[in-house]
Amino acid sequence: MKDRRHVGRGTWLGLAVALVWALASPAMAEVKIGVVDMQRALNECNAGKKAKDQVRAKFEKAQNELKAQREALDRQREAYDKKALVLKEDERRNLEKDLEAKSLDFKRKYEDYQRDLKRTDAELTSGIVEQLYGIVGQLAKEKGYTVVMESSAGGLVYADPSVDVTDEVIKRHNAR
């Protein structure tokens, strides 16, 4: 009984593939496919470069603040390590608690900066990405493309460079 169901599924699957192939074959001659690397378009268009520069500047500022805080924390830890043996028990515990609190504060600040940078990047680039998709749609209609596939998404194994419209998308976005 199990074998019959398996054969039935295989038969139906074979028929479905054959039917799709039969129906698609005449239309295949009319299909025009293009490829676009949206990540490259975002990184290379003028607005994308400007957005990336803003994110980079914000990242460097956050990195400098975190570095200064980390260095201060390291200095405190070194000072504590040097005098921990001569401190009274309650003084040592208070300094340990202080160091632990500052370490947690550093970790939270680091995580906050990461979230903030991701949010800033998304805010600055989402509008640009929408514009790029609009340009791709317009270009596809003008040039008669049936399908335009995204090459940086990972699903595309090979595409002839002649069908890549990324440079044209960047050029049109910069012209706006």
List, for the chain, all residue ranges whose pLDDT scores fall below the cut of 50.
Answer: 1-12, 14-15, 18-19
Q: Tell me the per-residue pLDDT of 64-113, one tens digit each, with 9 for 90 and over.
A: 999 999 999 999 999 888 888 888 989 889 989 999 999 999 999 999 99
- Give the list of residues 6+ apart from residue 36 with CB closer than 8 angstroms, or none: 136, 148, 149, 150, 151, 164, 165, 166, 169
The architecture in CATH of the region 31-175 reads 2-Layer Sandwich (3.30)
CA atoms within a 13 Å half-sphere pointing along the CA-CB vector of 167: 4
Domain ranges of the chain: 1-28, 31-175
- pTM for the model stands at 0.67
